[in-house]
A = this chain, B = another copy of it.
């Protein structure tokens, strides 16, 4: 995972400093995995690392959480010939409008692909319409677990979360590789610890 972490840091998908979040809180770490679309080699590394994490599981189709995880899911689907469905984010009333794009059958097992877990709320927003259509969800794979409580939320509801990377692992690797000084690493760890959801 060392190589992947260094690449994500190099392309500025993981940054350190002072970042004002929507909530007004100042975060010392900023993770934006959307930029991976501009680095196809990194995108493929991400998709492969995620695939390796779940290749032993039993599932029929993939569904990426919109929007950042959609390219991850697309590459996994194309590389491994696994059908995909997409949740339409703009469809709120999934009782009356088609909320899921693509072909699927009720009863199929659907694996959820997500880029980043904080609280897990985006994952639940995607799971809900899929289960409403009769798809079975047991597992979620995520590239980075921010370790702010999302894993527990997800597991409390009976789903399994598989994370390729955790924030702790990212910080440790970047510190060892001289990409992050000790002081900042401590600040980030404190931020994570005091911002549990």
Instruction: Please report A residues at the B interface, Cβ cutoff 8 Å.
Output: 11-12, 34-35, 37-41, 43-44, 47, 61, 67, 70-71, 74-75, 77-86, 101-104
Contact = CB atoms under 8 A, between A and B. Distances in A.
- Tallying the copies of this chain within the complex gives 2
Given A70-B70, A75-B74, A78-B75, A83 B38 contact: yes
Contacts of A85: 37-38
Contacts of A104: 38
Contacts of A35: 101-103
Contacts of A67: 86
Indicate the member of A11, A47, A70, A80 with the most B CB atoms within 10 Å.
Answer: A70
A140 to B, nearest CB: 19
Contact of A102 (B34, B74, B79, B84): B34
Given A11-B103, A103-B11, A61 B74 contact: no
A37 B82 contact: no
A139 B61 CA distance: 34
A82 B84 CA distance: 23
30 contacts: A11-B103, A12-B103, A34-B86, A34-B101, A34-B102, A35-B101, A37-B74, A37-B77, A37-B83, A37-B85, A37-B101, A37-B102, A38-B61, A38-B84, A38-B102, A39-B83, A40-B77, A40-B78, A40-B80, A40-B81, A40-B82, A40-B83, A40-B84, A41-B81, A43-B78, A44-B78, A47-B78, A70-B70, A71-B74, A74-B75
